[in-house]
Amino acid sequence: MLKCSFCGKESETVVRIVIDKDYDRLTVKHDVKYACPECSKKKEEEKKQKK
């Protein structure tokens, strides 16, 4: 089981979440976060609302 970085729930699957529009995965140090399907959907909706 894997653990969601947002809600702490254990899940069979998780999704990597990238929230920042200027995200640079190669040169910027960052915390890796993973989301369960429910939190992933919520984060995608939040991202859409910010546009």
**Global pTM value:** 0.63
What DSSP state is assigned to residue 22? T
User: Residue 11 contacts by C-beta under 8 Å, 6 or more apart in sequence?
Assistant: 1, 2, 3, 4, 36, 37
Query: How high is the pLDDT of residue 17?
Result: 61
**Cα–Cα distances in Å, from 37 out to 12, 22, 27?**
10, 24, 28
Q: Report the amino acid identity of residue 5.
A: S
Statement: residue 13 has pLDDT above 90: no
Query: How high is the pLDDT of residue 20?
Result: 61
Section 5-16 average pLDDT: 87
Q: Which one is predicted more confidently, 26 or 3? A: 3
- Greatest Cα-to-Cα distance within the chain, rounded to the nearest angstrom: 34
Read off the pLDDT band of 16 (50, 70, 90): confident
For the chain, the domains span: 2-19+30-50
Chain position carrying tokens 């702490």: 8
pLDDT more than 90, % of the chain: 12
